[in-house]
Amino acid sequence: MPTGAAKVTFTERDLSFFIQAVTQGRNCVQITARRGPVNEVKLVGSMKQFQENYGLPIDSSDSDIVVQRAFDRGAVLYINRVVHYTDPADASTIAALKASLTLQDQQSRNTLTIEAANQGTWGNTLVVTITANDVDPDRFDLRIDYPEQSELSESYRYLTMNQDDTEYYAVKVINDQSKLVKLIDLEAGDPFESDSVTVGIDTFDSGDDFTINIDDIPLMASSLKDSINATSGDVTATSLSNVISLTAVVAGVAGNAIALSAVTGGGNISVSGANLAGGLDAVAAGGTITFGIPADGDTVTVDGSLFTKVPGPPGANEFSNIGELTALIEALANVNATDDGLIITVTAANPGTAGNSITMVSASGAGLTLSGATLLGGSDAIAATGTVTFSPDPVTVDNPTPVTATNLAGGADGLSGLDDDDWIGNPATRTGLYAFDDIDDAFGLACPENTSPAVVAAGVAYCENREDMVYYAEPPASVDSAEEAIDFRLGQGLWVHAAFNSSYGAMYFGRPKIRSAKTNDITDISLIGDVFGVHAYNDAKAEVWFAPAGLQRGRIPNTLGVHYNVGTPGRSSEMDDLVNNQISPIVDFSDEGTVIWGEQTLQRAPSALQSLHIRRLLIYMRKALLKINRIYLFEPNDPITWRRVFNLINPWMEDLLKRRAFYEYLIQCDQDAKSINDAILNTPERIDRGEFVCRLFIKPTRTLKYFGIEAVITKSNANFKELLDIRL
């Protein structure tokens, strides 16, 4: 109850529910085919679409002709491709195989598998070509040629195996777009997998010699550092974050020869160069003494030793010419000396910076000139260095190497050993008939390639259990008389099986004759395509509950007759026998062509459900009413809800009445009850169980099957008006 200040409120209650039209003209068919999804139902509405999905005709099947004849009359088909299983209960025992081709990357590792979209030898004809992209050589182009149907060939450019490239990642692009193949990335999600680092003569493999941990790159770097220090005698290693620093154990240019490299599929490891670098040997300090014209008594001091110029023969530490001075310096322990007649070159005896402290002092005039007060240029040896860097954001980019035109291989059709079990299937693996479990808008089901009693019985049982489809059957192609057809229907004569008996089954006899496009010969084919074509035409031009038979809606165009024609005057009794045994004949009248001349179900007991159009009416009603009335589940089970149900169903039933579905109808769902005590059908016991029952009484419209014309001959003076009042 509202409280507070005055206000206006607005609420919604949706009472506008209505019963939607039921999709018509759709049926289910099982076939064998050149290619296409196996036990995965696909909706197909044209021959172009059929060939795109199931390929060109195969010699062992006429299903392509059968479905084309259905498409020609407007039918839409749910198609399931059947192959052999060693054990139908085990999906892994499938005999059909997908063709494939495995490609390698630059490091000769398997990087990518190209697999045919579905099983069959058709995949062995696919030709793959891979080239480097002409704009970016780090990307690749892929072409898939399908010679059998060249218009379906595919081409893709600018691809990469980098998963972070959301626009051009090859696996995503092709798996989203290709109708011919699927890609499998063999290294996806494994950066550093199979990567390695080589230092000197030692190689360190990821996973074995250092840890792979893309969530902790510094830990990976530390792991490689420890492995290098434990193994290599040429370098020492340190790590910081994602970088490992290497230093040659022995300083000098020799360290520059230590090799350094990385093998990485995704470019996640880089090195500073092909070798360590920057190593330098130690350099000795040096200086010069320019020997001019020294005067006697001039002196020069080298490394603390004093040498004096004298005119005559020199004594200890005396010299009279450049050669004698060079010899005196050369004799010193810490230096070496040479001269060229004008200049004495003095070099520290040992390389290194220590030589830079060796002194040279001159106490002469211009006669002895020194390069400096000390030797200069001495330097210590420098060790070579290098780095190994792990990418902080690793990716796997393992593009395949270019491949010239190469066929996929290993595909198998899986038709050898095909048996009834494959057509019937298994509910656990959703094979065979059970592949259609999720289809809820089809009216019929058939297996035109298999007419065995086991498959017919299973198909009828499957439809009867579902209660929303009819299984359409025909005698085997070897049956060439009405008598044999009846024997097959009843399981007698040459046949030993239970009679087919269900209103969810229908059987036809009279295979259409056509000229085969494969052989150019006249042959007869399964009638299923024409039956489904007639049903589609019937539903489009009239209603589901009109009989799909007769000259107005049951004509079958484009035939050369039927393989056994009971439509001739001499075989009229055979046609009667077929109809009396619930087999609908397909006949060829001399002046009207081929036509379906019956609409029986396989129900043996006489009732309205022996008529196919009435069974199809009830299926139509079932499909429409079950869906819409779910909206009332969990609503209060009381007269208000009951009246709402009535108000929903009654206009729909009135519409069906106007459309000639039945002569009369009555709805009983206690819609007039004021309380549950007034209910007749929905008793308190039912209410306590959560049940609500709504009964629909209908008088279904029957077909006109027997047209009687009576000629009454009268006298010349007879009064016709009087005769009309007489019951003759």
- Asked if 619 and 506 touch (Cβ cutoff 8 Å), the reply is no
Q: What structural domains and CATH numbers belong to the chain?
A: 26-85+416-614 (3.40.50.11780), 97-189+397-407 (2.60.40.4290), 196-280+385-390 (no CATH), 286-370 (no CATH), 639-728 (no CATH)
Nearest Cα residue to 284 out of 192, 348, 354: 348
Question: For residue 583, what are the β-bridge partners?
Answer: 507
**Alpha-carbon separation of residue 11 from 8, 41, 137 (angstroms):** 10, 45, 65
CA distance 488 to 500: 9
Q: For residue 455, what pLDDT is reported?
A: 98
Q: For residue 722, what pLDDT is reported?
A: 73
The position carrying tokens 């070579």 is: 384
The position carrying tokens 């046609």 is: 575
Q: For residue 395, what pLDDT is reported?
A: 74
Q: For residue 705, what pLDDT is reported?
A: 66
272-311 residue pLDDT tens: 999 999 999 999 999 999 998 898 889 999 999 999 999 9
**Alpha-carbon separation of residue 456 from 87, 467, 491, 610, 691 (angstroms):** 21, 16, 12, 18, 36
DSSP letter string, 307-322: EEE-SSS--TTEESSH
Nearby residues of 112 by Cβ (< 8 Å), 6 or more positions away: 102, 103, 161, 170, 171, 183, 184, 185, 186, 398, 400
- Asked if 453 and 495 touch (Cβ cutoff 8 Å), the reply is yes
Low-confidence ranges of the chain (pLDDT < 50): none
CA distance 47 to 566: 32
Q: Where are the alpha helices (DSSP H) in 207-320?
A: 217-231
* Enclosing H/E stretch for 32: none
This prediction has a pTM of 0.75
